[in-house]
Structure 1
């Protein structure tokens, strides 16, 4: 069987930042704006994310997953600009998005979230239906499960949470997928474990309990802006959770340059095999930066 390739990028923090109006720079946005002007605008570069997307397209993946933080301060004009960027990445049928904490930097309106809804709509959702999480999409041999950990938080906090309603719906959805043989990929912005309390997923313990009971084959996330692989207990063995650097970043301090993951999934008899390749910036150009890594062999039971 031919392998299916899923590209994964995250945290593009799209530049340039639109010029905010004075009344928009209140509370947390004022702090974020100062941080952007003092340094973040030098780290997150539009030409880098554009080059990264061009490299992704050159690899001809079967689908593209983006795990949040398209924008920076959740300014109204940022949502419109990010919609245009999403369209440059691909059509809604070919790109799946879950939001990040910067996409919910402050409380936002339904009009703003509607800019991206086509990229976050499940296959069974009716046209015009309100945005709802979790959502489910089937692409090739993959079942993509999207959840939102994006919530507005206090200044200097970047925590996320799913909430009881979303977790209950996720539990029910997993139960309905009991006989689904597809390779299951959970998309979330926040990592399921964090050493920093100010940026953790606050209800990660409950989510991990669900993953321990229900088969999930791969977890993809962003948020930390670093390469990472963590392993969590599932019903049939360990489940890999893969993080990726910001898609627009120049290397700075302990943070690496922009990169993305290519996940190759293939059915082998009664099992799935998943391999990871990483492509990122080396000497200013996108290139392979790691050997192929076998992440998972999932036995179908």
Structure 2
């Protein structure tokens, strides 16, 4: 069987930040704007994100998954800018997106989020339908399950939450695909375990209980801006949960430079085989001099 290739990137925090209007800097946005002007603009660079996307396209993946934080302060003009970037990555049929906490930095309007809706619609969604999570997409031998942990939070907080309604819908969705033989990939922004209370998924225990009852083969997330592999208990054994650095980052403090994951997924006899390749910038190289290169290759399943 020919391998299906899934690329995974996250947290591009697209620059440049549009010039905000004074009234748009009320509340939490003011803190975020000061943060951006002080140091984050030096870390998140559009040329790095563009180089990473160019390398992804050279690998010709069958599909691309993006696990949130396209933007920074959820300014209205950021949604338009991010839509143009999404189109440069690929079509809604070839790219699947779930939102991150910065995409919901403050409460936003449906008009703003609708600009990305085609990238977050399930296969059964009607054209123009409002966003609904969880959603399900089938691409080749993969079933992609997208959930949203993006909720507005208080200043200095970056927690995520699915909520009881989304968890109930996810339980029903798993029951409906109980006999689906596809390789199942869960897409979420927040990791399912976090040492930092201000960044955690607050109802992670409920989601982990679902994963323990229903088969998931791979979990992809962002949020922490680091390379990460965690294992969680599923009904048929351990399930890998893979995180990735910011797609636009220079190396800073304990955070690595931009990278993305490339998964090669094949069916062999009665079992799935999944190999992870990590491609990105070496932490010691400046983006102007360094090329995107293969950093690691790991057999997951």
Name the TM-score class by shorter chain.
over 0.9
> What's the offset of the Cα at 1:88?
0.2
Hey, which bits of structure 1, 4+ residues long, moved more than 6 A?
Answer: none
Tell me, in whole angstroms, the C-alpha distance in 2 between the residues paired with 1:94 and 1:133: 19
Tell me, in whole angstroms, the C-alpha distance in 2 between the residues paired with 1:265 and 1:32: 39
Instruction: Work out whether 1:165 is the aligned partner of 2:170.
Output: no
How big is each residue's C-alpha offset from its partner over 1:74-118, in whole Å with a ceiling of 9 and x where there is no partner? 000000000000000000000000000000000000100000000
Tell me, in whole angstroms, the C-alpha distance in 1 between the residues paired with 2:222 and 2:4: 22
What residue in structure 2 maps to residue 227 of structure 1? 227
1:294 to 283, 296, 299: 299
Tell me, in whole angstroms, the C-alpha distance in 2 between the residues paired with 1:26 and 1:129: 31
Unaligned runs of 5+ in 1: 297-301
Instruction: Work out whether 1:92 is the aligned partner of 2:97.
Output: no
What residue in structure 2 maps to residue 202 of structure 1? 202
Give the alignment's TM-score, normalised by structure 1. 0.98
Instruction: Work out whether 1:108 is the aligned partner of 2:108.
Output: yes
What residue in structure 1 maps to residue 237 of structure 2? 237
Tell me, in whole angstroms, the C-alpha distance in 2 between the residues paired with 1:285 and 1:26: 40
Q: How does 1:143-292 map to 2 (within 5 A)?
A: 143-282=143-282, 283=285, 284-290=290-296, 292=297
What residue in structure 2 maps to residue 69 of structure 1? 69
Q: 3-state SS of the aligned residue for 1:265?
A: strand
Tell me, in whole angstroms, the C-alpha distance in 2 between the residues paired with 1:99 and 1:153: 14
Tell me, in whole angstroms, the C-alpha distance in 2 between the residues paired with 1:260 and 1:22: 36
How big is each residue's C-alpha offset from its partner over 1:203-229, in whole Å with a ceiling of 9 and x where there is no partner? 000000000000000000000000000
What residue in structure 2 maps to residue 7 of structure 1? 7
How big is each residue's C-alpha offset from its partner over 1:220-270, in whole Å with a ceiling of 9 and x where there is no partner? 000000000000000000000000000000000000000000011000011
Tell me, in whole angstroms, the C-alpha distance in 1 between the residues paired with 2:294 and 2:127: 40
What residue in structure 2 maps to residue 31 of structure 1? 31
> What's the offset of the Cα at 1:285?
1.3
Q: 3-state SS of the aligned residue for 2:248?
A: coil
Q: 3-state SS of the aligned residue for 1:126?
A: coil
> What's the offset of the Cα at 1:65?
0.1
Tell me the number of residue pairs that the alignment of Structure 1 and Structure 2 aligns: 295
Tell me, in whole angstroms, the C-alpha distance in 1 between the residues paired with 2:291 and 2:244: 17
Worse-matched range after superposition: 123-132 or 49-58: 123-132
Tell me, in whole angstroms, the C-alpha distance in 2 between the residues paired with 1:62 and 1:268: 19
> What's the offset of the Cα at 1:58?
0.2
Give the superposed CA RMSD. 0.4
